[in-house]
Each structure stands twice: as C-alpha cells, then as structure tokens.
Structure 1
Amino acid sequence: MDARRPALIEHEVKTLVGQRIFALALGYEDLNDHDELRHDPVLAGKLKARRHKKCAAVAGKSTLNRLELSRPQPSRYHKISHDPVAIEALFVELFMGAHAAPPEEIVLDLDATDDPLHGNQEGRFFHGYYGNYCYLPLYIFCGDHLLCAKLRPANIDAAAGAVQEVERIVCQLRQRWPKVRIVLRADSGFAREELMAWCETNAVDYLFGLARNVRLVRHIAAELEAAKAESALTSRPARRFKDFLWTTRKSWSGRRLVVAKAEWTQGETNLRISDDREHGFHRIVSTDFTGS
C-alpha cells in the first residue's frame, strides 16, 4: 500500500522494488551504493524510470531505506506499507505457477547457512561452526525454486522456526495440489523431534541427516568389519547396508526405522544412516565419518 500523496510521488513503488532487486543482482548490496547508481542511465532505462526535474531518475539510499523499513501499516515517516503474509506466499505461488500440471511428488530441501557480517549489525553473533560473525538464514528450495528465505540470528539451532515455515508452505501447496506427495530433505541439523513428529502427523515424508555417535557406530560395527574385509580382498571399495529400529536416549518420542550404509574405501570408513518405514516413509540419512 502506498499512502504517499500522489502529487508528490517521484518514484513509484514498483520502480523502487525493481531498483533494489537489480542492484542486488549486480552485487550492490549496500544502500549507500544507490547514491551513485541513481545517476546510472542503464539502470534507469532498465527500470523504465521517467525523468524528473528536481531529482535523479531513480531513488537514493534514504528513499530505499524507508522502503525496506516499511511496516504492515503506514506511519508518519513510513508511508509505504507491506503485507508480510502475501510476500511469503508469493514464492510458493510462483513455484506452483511454473507447473502446467500438479507433480506426483516434490522434494523440499531445507538448509541453514551462514551470511557473514563485517560490522556491528543488530543480531550479530559468532558461530563456532562457520568461524565468523554471521546471520543464520533458513532456506527452503524445491529444485531451483526458492520457497522460503528467513533471516535469523546465528545464536539459534539450525532447525529453529523450521516447523512453522514448513507448515505454512505445505498448507499452501496442498490447497492447490491436494494429492501431491511431499518429501522434506535436510542434513542432521534438522533431525529434530518437533519437525519429525510434525511430518509424521501430517503425512509428510522426510529424509534427514543423522549425526553420528558412538552408539550408532557400535550398532553397525559388524557391517563395517565385513566391508573392510571385502575391500582388503578385492582392493576396491566395499559397502554393506543394515536397517534397524532406533531411538535416542532422550530427545525422540519413539523408535524410527533407520537404514545404515557402511562403506570401506581406501583404508577409511564412510558411514551413512537412513531411516525408511514401509512404502518409503520417514527416512533419515546420517553425515559421513572417517577413520582408520
């Protein structure tokens, strides 16, 4: 919603949004860059921005800053408002609109990765795994299609907020595609009871990483030794598979069917664990571990 006085508007909302997107795509992440970019004739031409007598064809950093700080309701100093629910839904709408017919199955990839920071930004925390100060955004993709990008501080669990985002996306998908099979796929950072239990309750399959531990390694020790012996005889990599019911000592609510792969290659072990219930439901895959 644009609550500015029409007679005083120099830059339309669509031009402001387009300007910011084009600049980001070109590598200009800082709003300060726009005090120079606003005089760029190529950018103005791409945006089809009209000429102005009193200012440049496209906006400067202050106008774009007010746009980015817009609120659901207009205020005295922020006349442009936005609908956060509609913005979140747009990515899923574009994804579904790219299909001529509903697919039989879709795989949603969840990932948390670092967004390094180089200043004293709000919500700045050091993350030991990545070794820097960063944000920890949550991404959800289906193939090349982005369905969710949630900015988060780095002092949280990788799966924080994942249930809420997955629930929102799944509900929106099933409104138009009620029969589509939905599978979640992610690393061990998302193998959390809350998310797995939600999937099991809502008929969503999952394929998650399962972090290795001593109990898991011990459980597949025989298969690992068999793979090692075969590799020694053939001088080639060897692998064994094993499925079993598994639960953690505290965090899981019950047992889940796990499929493990033990591989011996070049004198090292490569262990993966996956969970598979009947008909391919509820899969878990572990991270690798190496040792001699």
Structure 2
Amino acid sequence: MPQDWSLLKETKILLKQYQFNPKKKLGQHFLIDSSAIEKILKAANLEKEDIVFEIGSGLGLLTKELAKRAKKVIGFEVDEKLCSISQRVLAGYSNVEIKREDILRVSPADLHSLGKFKVVGNLPYYITTPIIFSLLGWSKRLMSAVLTVQKEVAERIISPPGRKEYGILSIGVQFHGEVEKIADFKKECFFPMPDVVSSLIRMKVRAKPPVLVKDKENFFNLVRVSFSQRRKQLANVLAKGLNFKKEIISDKLSLIGIDPKRRAETLSMDDFAKLSNFLIV
C-alpha cells in the first residue's frame, strides 16, 4: 500500500459524498495513517486462504487492503448508514461481505460453516471489553485477533501480575492466547481525532491453556470474586464472595502455599489455577 496515499483526503471525500457525520460517542474514528494500516496488515499476517472477520468495516478503506490479501472478508458494521457506505465502496470486491450486525450478537453457532478465521478490528472504546470477551468465546475457531484498542485497555490486557492494570481482563485474554502489544497509534492517526492514544495488540489463540484447570467455569468464577475487591486481602474477599468462613479460606490458601493476606493482583495465573483446582465451589 503506497505510503503517500492520502487517507485523510479520501475519508473526507467519502464523508461528504455520503453526508455522514461521525459520532464520537459511538467510537466512529476512522484510521487515516497509512503506516498504522501497514502495521495492522503485517500483524494480521494474512494468507490467500484466510477468512477474516473485520469488526467495524467503517468506510471500507482498511477492508479493501484485507480483501487483497485474504480469501474472504466478512465485515460487521452496526451503523446502518456506514454499512451502506462500505457496501458501495467495496462493491467491486467479490470476496467481501458486509453485514449490518452487532458483533456482540454473533454466536459461535453462527460461524459453524466457516471453519477457522482471523479477526481484525478497530474497536469502539466504549464496548471494547465486552467485544474482547465475546471473541474469547470463539476460541475454538478463532486463530488470531489483531485489534486497535484504547492504550489503557491494551496495558490491562498484557499486564503481568503485580501491576495495577492486572485483573480479570489480563487473565481472561492470556488464558486463551499469547498476546503482545505491537505499536501505539497517536490521536492524529484517526479522524475525527479521539481523546485518547490507541494501541495495536495481537492475540494468537493457544492450542491449550498455559495452566491446567479442572473446571474452567470455577476458575473464572474465582478470578472474578478475587478481583471484586482488589485492594482487600484475598482471604477476606473469598470468604465474603464465596460464603465461607474466613478461617476455612485462610487454611485452604495456606495449604497450597498462598498467603491469605495477599491481594488478588499479586497472584499469577498458576496461583489461580491451583486455587480453583483445590477449592471447587
């Protein structure tokens, strides 16, 4: 893709042509930086036989580049007018299908006939976390996800234990995939300009989780309870959240080598796995 291509100019032309006013409150910020798009394409590492889901097809400018590299691109766009615009812009691409559909309403069962696929998306900031957790529910078919998210969310996703950013989102994503931050995108990379810096992250879905858990539901329930009051000692939080006596919880934690006075943010994924395997609730 030429580095001198004026994405800003093309974006403004399309917005004027179709009389569309982006709604910042809905996260409608269009990528206008060609080097940022190059980073996305490189991170996605698309091959000719790949099926790609794009979350938010927008004006279709990134979609075009995905379509040149993949077997099929299915774009999900919830905004009716944007959906219509991208369908017109992409009319010449026979391997592109734009659906007017909320990605949060798409279930794994809807994807059964498509086999394995990759995801690329510039996620609306206000629903980033729900979308990511929805993607994790697709992990049996999802190969990888390359996502542009708010920098603050990216830091939470990649955070190791012991940091204030570490929490439910960190463990949820890292349990299902190997995740890394690829780059930060300045506000000026988007039009209209958002209020925050964005980051590009890539998640490669794991063949199996990095820790052994007997009951996945129990594991994530314990994680949620543990972080429900993240500044309090673990024994107090679990006793209240699981309706156990504090003494019983403290004894169980001590038996598996976890200090009852520790806080949830200091526990590794392995610690949570040991706890969930020992404490079935």
TM-score normalised by the chain length of structure 1 = 0.29
RCO comparison, higher one (Cα < 8 Å, 6+): 2
Task: Name the one with the larger strand percent.
Answer: 1
TM-score by length of 2: 0.29
User: Which structure has the greater CA radius of gyration?
Assistant: 1
